[in-house]
Chain A
Amino acid sequence: MISGISIYEILTVTSLLFFIGIYGFITRKNLISILISVEIILNASVINFVVINKYLYPDMLQGVIFSIFIIAVAAAETALAVSIIINLYRQINSVEVKDTEIMKY
């Protein structure tokens, strides 16, 4: 419980963060940027977990534990994604999205 700040303000911030992430995911041209956008989305949800836990059920810890899980999984996922991007770069000498459009009709 943070004094002076209600749950609505924090949820507004996380929503903004979430949509910024989505906007970035859709508009960025660079694979690394897209990866960062995905991380922003994840972080928005992690904050949501922690805040809702704290404000609604202060005597429980599930939300916090879940957020730790998510951070761990996100770290692993990022490592995986970066390795894929590095491999891609070795193949086509580029990390631009427009160069990876071979999977279409």
Chain B
Amino acid sequence: MNISYIPLIPLVPLAVFLLLGIFNKKIKPSVSGYIGVIGLSISTVLSLNAAYQYFFISGKVDGVYQTFVDKTVWMHFTDSLHIDMGVLLDPISIMMLLVVSIVSLMVHIYSRGYMKGDDGYTKFFAFLSLFSFSMYGLVLATNLFQIYIFWELVGVSSYLLIGYYYTKPSAVAAAKKAFIVTRFADLGFLIGILIIGYYTGTFDFETLNNPEGNVILNWASSSFMGLSVITWALILIFIGGAGKSAMFPLHIWLPDAMEGPTPVSALIHAATMVVAGVFLVARLFPMYYFVENGFALNIVAYVGAFSALLAAIIAITQTDIKRVLAFSTMSQLGYMMLALGVSGYDGHDGVGYMASMFHLFTHAMFKALLFLGAGSIIHAVHSNYLKDMGGLRKYMPITHITFLIAALAISGVPPFAGFWSKDEILVAAYEHNKLIYYVGVFVAGLTAFYIFRIYFGIFWGKDKKYEHKPKESPWSMTFPLIVLAILSVVGGFIPFSEFIAADKVGFTAHLNYPLAAIAVSVGLIGIILAWIFYKKENSLSDTYAKAFGPFYKWAYDKFYFDEIYLFVTKKILFKRVSGPIAKFDKKIVDGTMVGIGNTTVLGSRKIKGLQSGRVQDYAFSFVIGVVIIAIVFIYLWTV
């Protein structure tokens, strides 16, 4: 398979970024939008072509999907240890290429309408292109170091875009929070990479992931505190992934990240960047599965399940629609993580792996659609809050229909996309771990409930007093909604298991009817409950909120995780640890240096009178000096 054109996929957005970034003020906003869209379209076409070539023509040899690698040595340390740059094509990277391309292109088109008239229009498109470049680089990475570089680059683009409205203090704070929290998690990632590099002598995915390779066969060769060092490295790498994918307890940045423009939330914080953590675990899946009999993988499963549950509970109580969607994203990411965690490796055992990637794909479509729909609504009513919305279905028919499709998809109602992927996840969980399966089913119900809560709250109920009459968004915004809605409907019919499997062979997945029936009925119960509570405005929800009392308040305040973090960082870390260290630095280290300087200045001030400008004074000191030297040499110097 010819893969020489693959590097163009990331490089075109990079070129667009440089063009728009350098000639920021010289390019008219109307032109810069088109440049961004055209750049992304080129990448999308190339990605689609690559996917077609790979899946249907030349990817499969003897029934196994091959891995194509094209790389060059970038930094050469020793003959065995070097860092490469290149592209790696295998089923999941191709799938991620498609996800990133489609969502990013739709968001580019959408942004042309949404950001119209904004001062930083060109800058916005430059940042979007930078993000697309980084994300493409991340999914195509051939080794751990390359993925780390692009990992940080997506972090930077996310930071830039969350803080896009930089005159708003809350946006600046949110950007900083997102960057610091993910950066903190990435420290774990980096340490994990270094451990792997040290103990295995390679960063290369192909070498690391080979089930018959030295790395996986010799995982027990060195251990630390009762676990293999490789397991420790994988846990640390998972911490990095958990930070990016907003897993408990590193999820606190994601809701705040909603301060960014809504297309950014759709692209980065729903569809692409936040799934990087899932992608990372999937990328190293053979290692996770084989090393220490999947010890690290179990951690992934439980963290994912717990995050899914926690986020779904919080999502029910939130009143800002973007925050509901943010917690929903976190919950669905937890779903993907738990699917990876309960997955096996060979053939049909690997259904969890396939389901996770499948859900990643469908979730990207319908969650981006939900966010873009929310953006369209916010554009119309100029508020994020549920209390300012109601009865919008009459004013915004296209947004209404597409939002409904996305809501049905995320609730797992057949035949929408979410149903198929969620069903596979529940099958995998049922076969491997019953506890996680029950959590998954419960979360499925909660998901349907909270998403229809906001759906009914936005589109049904009484009209609110709107300052301007809400009207449907322009064509540039509704077109992406329609495209994504179509994908949310048909996406589930893609026979994913044929294309993506942990052992790269592919298998035929069958619908498990009893399990599917349970999942669907739980989802329908959630929808019906939401219908009873929120279809017409009534006091039922308030009554139940009161009945739950403190628990409701607890969930509404996001279980006080922010406060806990603030307490730990401010009261303990800053005050007890960093404070004294800073004081030591300021007082002792700086103090010594400043003291030396000050003493010199004081001393100089005292003796500067010696340079009086009177030549006779100098001559006098000169004579005295000569006399002293003469006395010393004649009378006192005895050898």
Interface set of A (CB-CB < 8 Å, partner B): 22, 25-28, 34, 97-98, 100-105
Given contacts A22-B623, A26-B623, contact A97 B611 (CB under 8 A): no
Asked whether, in the complex, the Cβ of B620 is within 8 Å of the Cβ of A102, the reply is no
> Contact check: which of A26, A98, A100, A104 meets B620 at CB < 8 Å?
A26
Q: Are B612 and A104 in contact (CB under 8 A)?
A: yes
Task: Judge whether A26 and B619 touch: CB under 8 Å.
Answer: yes
Residue ID in chain A nearest B620 by CB atoms: A26
In the complex, whether B72 has a CB less than 8 A from a CB of chain A is no
Q: Give every chain A residue within 8 A of B612 (Cβ-Cβ).
A: 101, 104
Task: Tell me which residues across on chain B come within 8 A of A26, comparing CB atoms.
Answer: 616, 619-620, 623
- Indicate if the CB atoms of B614 and A97 lie closer than 8 Å: yes
Residues of B593-609 at the interface with A, using a CB-CB cut-off of 8 Å, are 608-609
Residue of B613, B616, B619, B623 touching A104 (CB-CB under 8 A): B613
Cα separation A34 to B613 with both chains bound (whole Å): 16
- Given contact pairs A97-B615, A100-B613, a sample of 18 additional A-B residue pairs in the complex whose CB atoms are under 8 Å apart: A22-B623, A25-B616, A25-B619, A26-B616, A26-B620, A97-B614, A97-B616, A98-B614, A101-B612, A101-B613, A101-B614, A102-B613, A103-B613, A104-B613, A104-B614, A105-B608, A105-B611, A105-B613
Contacting residues, chain B, for A98 (C-beta < 8 A): 614
Chain A residues whose C-beta falls within 8 Å of the C-beta of B613 in the assembled complex: 100-105
8 closest A-B pairs by beta carbon, nearest first, are A104-B613, A101-B613, A103-B613, A105-B608, A26-B620, A105-B611, A26-B616, A104-B612
Query: With the chains together, A102 CA to B616 CA distance in Å?
Result: 14
**Choice from A22, A25, A27, A104 contacting B611 with Cβ under 8 Å:** A104
Instruction: Return A92 CB to nearest CB of chain B, in Å.
Output: 14
Q: 29 pairs across A/B with beta carbons < 8 Å?
A: A22-B619, A22-B623, A25-B616, A25-B619, A26-B616, A26-B619, A26-B620, A26-B623, A27-B616, A28-B616, A34-B616, A97-B614, A97-B615, A97-B616, A98-B614, A100-B613, A101-B612, A101-B613, A101-B614, A102-B613, A103-B613, A104-B611, A104-B612, A104-B613, A104-B614, A105-B608, A105-B609, A105-B611, A105-B613
Q: How far is the CA of A105 from the CA of B608 in the complex (A)?
A: 7
B609 neighbours in A (Cβ, 8 Å): 105
List of A residues within 8 angstroms of B608 by Cβ: 105
Q: Which of B618-632 contact A (CB under 8 A)?
A: 619-620, 623
Residues 183-223 (chain B) with a chain A CB within 8 angstroms: none
Determine the distance from Cα of A34 to Cα of B619 in the docked complex, in whole angstroms.
12
Instruction: Give complex CA distance A34, B616 in Å.
Output: 9
Cα A27 to Cα B620 with chains together (Å): 9
- Report chain A residues within 8 Å CB of B623: 22, 26
- How far is A26 from B615 in the complex, measured between Cα atoms in Å? 8
Main secondary structure of the interface of A (DSSP, over half): helix
Residue of B nearest to A25 (CB): B619
B-to-A contact residues, CB < 8 Å? 608-609, 611-616, 619-620, 623
Contacts of A104 in B (CB 8 A): 611-614
Q: List the A residue with the shortest CB-CB distance to B612.
A: A104
- Report the Cα distance A26→B609, complex, angstroms: 18
Please measure, in the bound complex, the distance between the C-alpha atom of A104 and the C-alpha atom of B616, giving whole angstroms: 13
Report chain A residues within 8 Å CB of B611: 104-105
- B611 — nearest CB in chain A belongs to which residue? A105
For B615, the closest partner residue in chain A by CB is A97
CA–CA, A102 and B609, complex, Å? 13
Question: Could you tell me the distance between the alpha carbons of A100 and B619 in the complex, rounded to whole angstroms?
Answer: 15
CB distance from A33 to the nearest CB of B (A): 11
Nearest opposing residue in chain A for B621, CB measure: A26
| Bound form: Cα–Cα A103–B612 in Å | 8
- Report the nearest A residue to B605, measured CB to CB: A105
Report B123 CB to chain A, min CB distance, Å.
Answer: 54
User: In the complex, what residues of A have CB within 8 A of residue B616's CB?
Assistant: 25-28, 34, 97
Closest-CB distance, B162 to chain A (whole angstroms) = 56
A28 to B619, alpha carbons, bound, how many Å?
A: 12
CB of A7 to closest CB in B, whole Å: 19
Alpha-carbon separation in the docked complex, A55 to B240 (Å): 97
Minimal beta-carbon separation of B527 from chain A (angstroms): 88
User: CB-CB < 8 A to A27: which residues of B?
Assistant: 616
Considering only CB atoms, which chain A residue lies closest to B610 in the complex? A105
Cα(A34)–Cα(B620), bound, Å = 13
How far is A22 from B627 in the complex, measured between Cα atoms in Å? 12
Tell me the minimal C-beta distance from B430 to chain A in angstroms.
89
How close is B619's CB to chain A, nearest CB, in angstroms? 6
Which chain B residue shows the least CB distance to A102? B613
Alpha-carbon distance A85/B26, docked complex (angstroms): 67
Which residues of chain B are near A25, meaning CB under 8 Å? 616, 619
Interface centre among A22, A26, A27, A98 (most CB of B within 10 A): A26
Nearest to B616 among chain A residues (CB) is A26
Q: Report the bound CA distance from A22 to B624 in whole Å.
A: 11
Q: How far is the CA of A102 from the CA of B613 in the complex (A)?
A: 6
Please name all residues of chain B whose beta carbon is closer than 8 Å to the beta carbon of A101 when the two chains form the complex: 612-614
Q: Which among A22, A98, A102 has the greatest number of chain B C-beta atoms within 10 A?
A: A22
Instruction: Give the Cβ gap from A63 to chain B, nearest Cβ, in Å.
Output: 23
